[in-house]
């Protein structure tokens, strides 16, 4: 008997023959998809860090292929970390001065009255991050599959898609 001709699910259940092969196929596909999702969640598309000394312990916003993560550092070895799925973000905006920028992210998680805001990024980093996130939001809302695009190509296309004429 071949090893895929007999599958034990638990001590009471055995699947044999063609049923074993049929049972394993979706399981292998699910395992592969889960591993692929984990790998893509480590692929950072954009990141920005606040400027010292305006924030004594720099905050960070990171965008990967599945989520936006905000880390607010409050003191040595202490921080608050919040992650939002791309699908949960309603809007992203940036406020800029000649040297600095602030990013506001409006999500379903915090409701529409309370955007999540992080201040004191370098101006260019704040604008770049806003463009990439905004591009990702537009692509997600139009059900465009970005998973097949190469890293550099994805960043370029999302930046172009999220770019607005004001900056």
For the chain, the domains span 3-40, 44-162
Cβ atoms within 10 A of the Cβ of 106, count? 19
d(CA 73, CA 124): 22
**What backbone torsions phi and psi does residue 89 show, to the nearest 5 degrees?**
-85, 125
Rounded to whole angstroms, how far apart are CA atoms 94 and 102? 6
Query: What confidence tier does 22 reach under pLDDT thresholds 50, 70, 90?
Result: low
Block residue for tokens 């699908």:
87
Q: What is the pTM of this model?
A: 0.75
Q: Would you say 7 and 21 are in contact if contact means Cβ atoms under 8 Å apart?
A: no
Average pLDDT over residues 125-146: 94
46-103 tens-digit pLDDT: 999 999 878 888 999 999 998 999 999 988 888 899 999 999 999 999 999 999 999 9
Residues 30-49 as b/e (b if ≥16 CB within 10 A, e otherwise) read eeeeeeeeeeeeeeebbebb
The first and second tokens of residue 3, run together, are 């090893």
CA Rg value for the chain: 21
Q: CATH for 44-162, among 2.30.29.30, 1.20.140.10, 1.10.760.10, 2.130.10.10?
A: 2.30.29.30
Cβ atoms of 48 and 122 within 8 Å: the answer is yes
CA dihedral 32, 140, 61, 165 (to 10 degrees): 150
Please, what is the average pLDDT of the chain? Answer: 83
- 7/34 Cα distance (integer angstroms): 21
Rounded Cα distance between 94 and 88, Å, is 18
The string of pLDDT tens digits covering residues 43-61 is: 899 999 999 878 888 999 9
pLDDT score for 24 = 54
Which long-range CB contacts under 8 A does 113-118 form with residues at least 24 apart? 115/91, 116/70, 116/82, 116/84, 118/50, 118/59, 118/61, 118/70, 118/72
Which has more pLDDT, 24 or 147?
147
SS3 call for 105: strand
pLDDT at 10 over 60: no
């Amino acid at each position: 008997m071949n090893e895929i001709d007999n599958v034990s699910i638990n001590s009471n259940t055995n699947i044999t023959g063609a049923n074993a092969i049929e049972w394993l196929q979706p399981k292998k596909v699910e395992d592969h998809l889960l591993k692929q999702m984990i790998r893509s969640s480590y692929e950072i598309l954009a990141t920005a860090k606040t400027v010292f000394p305006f924030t004594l312990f720099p905050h960070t916003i990171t965008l990967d292929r599945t989520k936006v993560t905000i880390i607010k550092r409050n003191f040595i070895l202490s921080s608050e970390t919040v992650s939002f799925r791309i699908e949960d973000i309603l809007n992203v905006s940036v406020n800029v001065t000649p040297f600095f920028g602030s990013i506001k992210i409006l999500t379903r998680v915090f409701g529409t009255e309370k955007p999540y805001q992080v201040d004191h990024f370098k101006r260019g980093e704040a604008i770049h991050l806003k463009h990439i996130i905004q591009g990702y939001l537009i692509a997600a809302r139009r059900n465009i599959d970005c998973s097949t695009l190469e890293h550099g190509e994805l960043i370029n296309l999302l930046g172009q898609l999220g770019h607005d004429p004001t900056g």
